[in-house]
Amino acid sequence: MSQSAVGIGRWQGAGLMATTLLGTGVFILPQMSIAIAGEGALWAWAILTLAIIPVALVFGLLAGRIPHAAGPAYYVERVFGKTLGRTIGLCFLLVIPIGAPAAILMTFQFMNAMLPMDGLAQLAVQLLIIVVLLLLNMRGIQVSAKLQFSLTLSIVTVVVLLMGSSSTSLMSADAVTPFAHWQLEPVMLAIGIGFWSFLGIEAMTHLAGDFEKPQKDMLPAMLMGTVLVGVIYLLCTLLLLNTPDATEGVAMIAAFNYWLADTPLAGFGVQIIGILGVASGLATVNVYAASAARLMWSFAEQGVLPKRFAKRNEHGVPLNALLAILSTMAVVMVLTFISGQDLESLIAWSNGVFVVIYLLAMLSAFKLLGAKYRLLIAASCVFCIALGIALGFSMIYVAIMMAIVAPFIWLQKSHHQKRAAKV
Q: Which amino acid is at 30?
A: P
- Tens of pLDDT, residue by residue over 191-238, are 888 888 887 787 777 666 667 676 777 777 888 888 888 888 888 888
Higher pLDDT, 145 or 70: 70
Residue 173: is its pLDDT beyond 60? no
Residue 27 CB partners (closer than 8 Å, separation 6+): 110, 236, 250, 252, 273, 276, 277
Report percent pLDDT > 70 for the chain.
83
Scored b (16 or more CB within 10 A) or e, 84-95 reads bbbbbbbbbbbb
Q: Tell me 305's DSSP state.
A: S
From start to end of 28-68, where are the E strands? none
Confirm if 133 and 286 have CB atoms less than 8 A apart: yes
Q: Residue range 379-391: average pLDDT?
A: 91
Q: Tell me 365's DSSP state.
A: H
Q: Residue range 28-43: average pLDDT?
A: 87
Residue 178: is its pLDDT beyond 60? no
- Tens of pLDDT, residue by residue over 57-110, are 999 888 888 887 778 888 999 999 888 888 888 887 888 777 777 777 778 778
At residue 174 the predicted structure's pLDDT band, cuts being 50, 70 and 90, is low
| Cα 21 from Cα 201, distance rounded (Å) | 8
| Cα 224 from Cα 231, distance rounded (Å) | 11
Instruction: Name the strand (E) or helix (H) holding 149.
Output: helix 141-170
| Cα 288 from Cα 389, distance rounded (Å) | 26
Confirm if 71 and 206 have CB atoms less than 8 A apart: yes
At residue 422 the predicted structure's pLDDT band, cuts being 50, 70 and 90, is low
The counts of H helices and E strands in the chain are: 17, 0
Please calculate the CA angle 419-422-423 and round it to the nearest 5 degrees: 90
Give the global pTM: 0.76
At residue 4 the predicted structure's pLDDT band, cuts being 50, 70 and 90, is very low
| Cα 162 from Cα 150, distance rounded (Å) | 19
pLDDT of the residue at 148: 66
| Cα 378 from Cα 376, distance rounded (Å) | 6
Between helices 319-339 and 82-114, what is the axis angle to 10°? 60
Residue 376: is its pLDDT beyond 90? yes
CATH of 10-416, one of 3.90.1640.10, 1.20.1740.10, 3.40.640.10, 3.40.50.300: 1.20.1740.10
Confirm if 421 and 403 have CB atoms less than 8 A apart: no
DSSP codes, 103-154 = HHHHHHHHHHHHS---HHHHHHHHHHHHHHHHHHHTT-HHHHHHHHHHHHHH
pLDDT of the residue at 182: 66
pLDDT of the residue at 146: 62
Task: Give the residues across from 211 on adjacent strands.
Answer: 8
- Tens of pLDDT, residue by residue over 312-371, are 877 777 888 888 888 888 888 888 788 776 677 778 888 888 899 999 999 999 999 888
Residue 283: is its pLDDT beyond 80? no
| Cα 322 from Cα 324, distance rounded (Å) | 5
